[in-house]
Structure 1
């Protein structure tokens, strides 16, 4: 069934036409579930610890006496099996992950009841001729959901081939394994064109990306049991299929995970492939009751909405100019050597002789010999003495050394030889807050330095459209803390940093200087997450170049919370010890750390909004048939970058901004305006397209 964006949008309170339905108390995802005392933060309340869910019986549909068999000319309909369990799979050819929009369908009647015994694996049928395939297609078409898995000849989306497509069809009570080496890869289009069952699998971004590489963009509602497991356990890493299956009491043997899928198939391999698809379906049946019990329906919908977009990012990769990158690396290496030479000048006359400035111990000893009595050589400690020429040189040296070591020449190894692009690993849930993560390489941590970001350059005739949420963490904190002055400022379109400077320093708005505003930025971004006076002092200097005495930091901190008492109440409302937290859409996390109690609802709500935006964007692109030309390539916390041909640049800009607004508006529900800043570039935010027109 196609993903109904409008259904989820209505449920979340956002109008796809662009207006947002104001929230009422009943609109809140926690309404009617766990009423809170008056004045208590709706994003912080005790959450019951998850209990082990015993999977429902999967039935046997003829049972385990049938093993793997080839299917002759197919006739008739096999008996349906009773509803069972739903689990996901991560087959040996899927890289491990670490950490459409629609209200999820209700669990079918009879599903989810605790089982007395482990579910029985179904028969597995090998399909390797077209006549047999024609018999399977009607069975597939009548399913609402189906377990799904691919076996491929390798991990590389751009070079590996799909060998097996496996489905578990619950009504038929069997798993069907389609051998594409015998059937031909062209049959894949028959399987996924038009409406079909929702796909249930484990680490589905891998499978979906393989389908997309063949021009197929399934619109059925997916259910990734790996992602759902992360949501249920607020995990930052996706667990392997066999671990999730074992916990749910579902038998699964992964010993054939890394076998050769390019040669003749053994009966054991075929059975393995079919049972992976069955396990996915079985795990879902175990997960659905837990999702309902913990109030995570909307959160799972958000993750499933974003999933195809993440798969598409994985497939398309990021444009990268190795020549420009090497220029940046060469400059960093030269700067590193130049600053090291400056440091060497301070060694003259030191009793210890040559100093290894990369060693914190030797650097500290040398600085003490130069008359600086420092407790350590941490960056924030050194920043307090940044006017000393040796300290200034050391800070610069470390910055360039880090640039060389982290963003050095080895980045060329990530360039794909076939596509000429970087294809990083995107982890849809890469943190316990729900934020995404990226690795191999980590593009989310590339500094905003123009020398580096200009290397991510669109190919000739194409552009990169970059859009960022404006001050989204402050907006979300204001909503969560119910901070009236901040909410009023955002609703009236005021400059919050200027307002903070005015309130804290006691100046009229028109008298606020550039320096005052810089100070206010340090206060706003530093204090919403509970920094103390000393933490604020270090943060202001390291992040904003604002030097404060301990007394000034304390005075400013007190003035800030007088100006924004809602934030102070929110901070004080956090309980001691472990507590259950919720984002505005209901994503849960249990933690006993004070700072996490503050940043989890904010950053998690931001992640929910950005993922909804990716889901809306994907649906718009596929709905307009643009997904082969316009597609997301980067997602960095509050930013999305889309690549498009120049002829579609303006349309891509409008689609991206609209999707990002709708996504975050579904989270804040009219309580604060959502602003998106966007432009069209030739690269990752350095040279605008307008500059060359």
Structure 2
């Protein structure tokens, strides 16, 4: 009996895009943005080497799309018409990627006029017909139509495997029906329409009910509802759609692959060390050159002190990543089921210089989550998992959770024992739910990534892919998804152990790659330390929460409900009939067919639009759009806040505990959710009243402190404009001063209208507003708006110079910086796409101000928290909203808060203009603000 041979086909086009978006912006000369980009090349090398290690194959090939049109473009000129152009940095790396893949021993195929998918399909079918086991490595779900008992799709980046069962489970139909499924659903990426409003669930339901697309078409007349009507409208298109989405398996590849029937040309080749060395040197991959010369660097030879110490170099970063990838195939993970094992690992934790921790829990809600298991890693490639609450038939006996936590508590609460995690704030809450206040967290890999590469994803799986070339177990593969997802407590212990150990191990490995980069740059290290301190402050804010007055919210909900009903009736009266105020179709019929309102713009399908922008424009002249807008605003306010806030309060505290996400906004600002405290509408009286429900307990008041005109002050500091600096230094009304400059009148003679114009100009220019935008905002013509901007720049030349210099610097570096050194990357700053490039240029001007404001409020938050702790004050910080800090203050400390909080906030940094913080006090947030 002979072993079955294997053909491994790599979707090179999918790989190179993933490599480009996953890797940092590496350059052939590190730190020199003018040298050529190498990130995608480096990522491709990592991925191809990892795949070669993980999948043994007798035949291999890496297939790329050829430049130019394909036969589908002849069939359908609009094919892929909506795709964004390939980024210039990626296009420049394609040729060297083809070259290095070949040097690594992979046959490379790039067939003119034929898409990579069709080449893959043809080779896969040839292999299957010859009895070869075919494995296709790709993240492209469209290839699922090729799957059968001989052909399997694997996604090494996510760990997903699409065999017959996997495709059926994922899409609801077997691979044999995937072409029909894709025809119905369409492909927005390739601009192939499907049946309008028919999504995956409907497509799968129809195909399982009728058996095939042909059978469905034959019985289209009996399909009911709007979906059936849309199906019948699409009948003429469906044959063409099916033709476009079908991967061809019979392409002529003659001349591009000799010996195709025997697959002989696809035998793996030996690497070419000399050519690889020259290639690596050309592209600046110093560590790869060293690896070639030494064949391998044993991980034991690299001391942790090297990664922790100063003097880190770019090739050291690469070397650390390579070692991590090599270790991934030689892991030692333990499952702790006895006290002897526990004692052994506790001793290792106590002796470790740094230990990574990860918790497995019952919930993503950190205030309610309970621990199911804990994993640790103190050495790369080694980790242990303690299962504590797994519960399923036949589960092994586990150590008692309470006793384990009691024995771990002294180590967890010892600030001298340095700890590391991925999103440590969550784990701190989880341990706190069990009475443990973890101390000694020294690092958070999520925040390291956020500071170093804010424009990239910061999840652990993405970090491991990007920096280690390691893929891991996907949570959904472990627990399922949707209605069929099981709790982690029901995952088999051996699988849970591998998953959790992997998380701790990868966290430690990612840290060893990222930390030297932060060590090597003092400004970025400052920002990282700021984020780590902010994580501590935010944990305290979230833990305490804010008290909610449920009766006040209930009364507001009732009033809003009455007003919403009244608005509906008023809208019906104007329209002359009842209609659904939430239906764009019905609104369009009333507006444009019955009432004859002017059409402002049209949808992509040519129908008159009724989107928010159109409603706001029409509301200026017509009462019905105004009623609909008011109805929508009040309905959202009621549904999002007055109905739900009280329900979101934690029963044991009576408070809402928002979650502040640090690693989301590229400017450094925080994101608040569950509930979102930053989006409470305050421009309407009804919206402002919601803040009345945020109250203080008996004997306390609410205090609100925020910075005055912070972004304008930052603009004055960054630009150094003499007139702006003078206005703030002398304590002038900056908008009145600007109006005086722009309109050429003494400040005391500035009218309220002129001051309003000046305020719009001041803030508009911060956000990169054009003359067109200013004209629209002020309701004036473009000529007047341009004249105001020209006069503004003439009077404030420093601002104009700052804007011009910032755009130029951003184009050169690819990023801008805040006053304190936070980097804000602008991937589209050199885009050939005009609107995208314009958006990036506007962001380049505004981001340093928004980012510096974010840095300042975090500095203030941390400083105030430190003083509250040092003086053992009863005052608690309970919210951070944009440039505002909110406190719950004992009545005995009100005067201290009124005096000291503004002083502390004003003193966190020395700018060229004074910082000014103002504070208000009241029984609730609304009255304090």
Give the alignment's TM-score, normalised by structure 2: 0.56
- Distance between the aligned counterparts of 2:367 and 2:736, measured in 1? 50
Q: Is the 8 A contact 2:445 2:510 kept in 1?
A: yes
Query: Is 2:791 the partner of 1:559?
Result: yes
- Distance between the aligned counterparts of 2:312 and 2:456, measured in 1? 30
Offset from partner CA, 1:168-226 (integer Å, 9 cap, x none): 33499765859661635334541244432332111111012234456655553531111
SS of 1:463's partner is strand
* Counterpart position of 1:314: 542
Offset from partner CA, 1:357-402 (integer Å, 9 cap, x none): 5556765776677686462565587468736655655554454344
Q: CA deviation at 1:286?
A: 0.9
- Distance between the aligned counterparts of 2:650 and 2:497, measured in 1? 32
* Counterpart position of 1:483: 721
Q: CA deviation at 1:307?
A: 0.9
* Counterpart position of 2:464: 245
- Distance between the aligned counterparts of 1:615 and 1:105, measured in 2? 27
Which of 402, 406, 410 aligns to 1:190? It is 410
Name the CA shift for 1:359/1:561 in 2 (closer, same or farther; >3 Å). Answer: farther
Q: Is the 8 A contact 2:568 2:631 kept in 1?
A: yes
Query: Is 2:423 the partner of 1:203?
Result: yes
Q: CA deviation at 1:535?
A: 1.0
SS of 1:679's partner is strand
SS of 1:685's partner is helix
Which of 586, 607, 631 aligns to 2:854? It is 607
Name the CA shift for 1:163/1:644 in 2 (closer, same or farther; >3 Å). Answer: farther
Across the two proteins, how many residue pairs are aligned to each other? 588
Q: CA deviation at 1:560?
A: 2.0
Q: CA deviation at 1:278?
A: 3.0
Query: Which residues of 2 match residues 437-516 of structure 1 at below 5 A?
Result: 437-448=671-682, 449-516=687-754
* Counterpart position of 1:682: 923
Which of 118, 137, 143 aligns to 2:326? It is 118
Q: Is the 8 A contact 1:198 1:220 kept in 2?
A: yes
* Counterpart position of 1:646: 891
Q: CA deviation at 1:599?
A: 1.6
Q: Is the 8 A contact 2:545 2:655 kept in 1?
A: yes
Q: Is the 8 A contact 1:149 1:167 kept in 2?
A: yes
Q: Is the 8 A contact 1:147 1:281 kept in 2?
A: yes
Which of 410, 417, 424 aligns to 2:658? It is 424
Offset from partner CA, 1:15-63 (integer Å, 9 cap, x none): xxxxxxxxxxxxxxxxxx989xxxxxxxxx98997946999xxxxxxxx
SS of 1:633's partner is strand
Q: CA deviation at 1:244?
A: 1.8
Q: CA deviation at 1:687?
A: 5.2
- Distance between the aligned counterparts of 2:765 and 2:554, measured in 1? 39
Mean alpha-carbon deviation: is it higher for 401-410 or for 205-214? 401-410
Name the CA shift for 1:521/1:459 in 2 (closer, same or farther; >3 Å). Answer: same
Offset from partner CA, 1:265-318 (integer Å, 9 cap, x none): 945545654443332222100112333567622221221111112222332233
Query: Is 2:837 the partner of 1:590?
Result: no
* Counterpart position of 2:800: 568
Q: CA deviation at 1:464?
A: 2.4
Which of 535, 553, 561 aligns to 1:333? It is 561
- Distance between the aligned counterparts of 1:50 and 1:625, measured in 2? 53
- Distance between the aligned counterparts of 2:872 and 2:350, measured in 1? 24
Q: CA deviation at 1:234?
A: 1.4
Q: CA deviation at 1:330?
A: 2.6
Q: CA deviation at 1:345?
A: 4.0
Gaps of 5+ in 1: 1-32, 36-44, 56-79, 87-103, 541-546, 689-693
- Distance between the aligned counterparts of 1:395 and 1:253, measured in 2? 47
Offset from partner CA, 1:572-592 (integer Å, 9 cap, x none): 331496832222222221232
Query: Which residues of 2 match residues 260-409 of structure 1 at below 5 A?
Result: 266=493, 269-270=496-497, 272-292=499-519, 296-347=524-575, 358=582, 373=598, 375=600, 378-379=612-613, 382=616, 386=620, 393=627, 395-409=629-643
- Distance between the aligned counterparts of 2:893 and 2:35, measured in 1? 47
SS of 2:358's partner is strand
- Distance between the aligned counterparts of 1:464 and 1:415, measured in 2? 18
Q: Is the 8 A contact 1:81 1:171 kept in 2?
A: no
- Distance between the aligned counterparts of 1:381 and 1:269, measured in 2? 52
Q: CA deviation at 1:469?
A: 1.1
* Counterpart position of 2:816: 581
- Distance between the aligned counterparts of 2:774 and 2:644, measured in 1? 36
- Distance between the aligned counterparts of 2:705 and 2:719, measured in 1? 26
Name the CA shift for 1:173/1:83 in 2 (closer, same or farther; >3 Å). Answer: farther
Higher RCO, Cα 8 Å, sep 6+: 1
- Distance between the aligned counterparts of 1:196 and 1:679, measured in 2? 40
Question: Over alpha carbons, which structure has the higher Rg?
Answer: 2
Mean alpha-carbon deviation: is it higher for 504-513 or for 45-54? 45-54
Q: Is the 8 A contact 1:46 1:580 kept in 2?
A: no
Q: Is the 8 A contact 1:435 1:604 kept in 2?
A: yes
Q: Is the 8 A contact 1:140 1:196 kept in 2?
A: no
Gaps of 5+ in 2: 1-29, 47-298, 388-398, 480-485, 602-609, 830-839
SS of 1:284's partner is helix
Name the CA shift for 1:279/1:443 in 2 (closer, same or farther; >3 Å). Answer: same
Q: Is the 8 A contact 1:209 1:312 kept in 2?
A: no
* Counterpart position of 1:635: 880
Q: Is the 8 A contact 1:466 1:639 kept in 2?
A: yes
Name the CA shift for 1:430/1:160 in 2 (closer, same or farther; >3 Å). Answer: closer
* Counterpart position of 1:149: 358
Name the CA shift for 1:169/1:535 in 2 (closer, same or farther; >3 Å). Answer: same
Mean alpha-carbon deviation: is it higher for 260-269 or for 203-212? 260-269
The structure richer in helix per residue is: 2
Q: Is the 8 A contact 2:717 2:911 kept in 1?
A: no
- Distance between the aligned counterparts of 2:37 and 2:710, measured in 1? 30
Offset from partner CA, 1:613-655 (integer Å, 9 cap, x none): 23333433444455xx543322222112123433444445566
- Distance between the aligned counterparts of 2:626 and 2:383, measured in 1? 69
Query: Which residues of 2 match residues 661-672 of structure 1 at below 5 A?
Result: 661-663=906-908, 665=909, 669-672=910-913
Offset from partner CA, 1:542-583 (integer Å, 9 cap, x none): xxxxx5444443332222222222222233331496832222
- Distance between the aligned counterparts of 2:573 and 2:900, measured in 1? 56
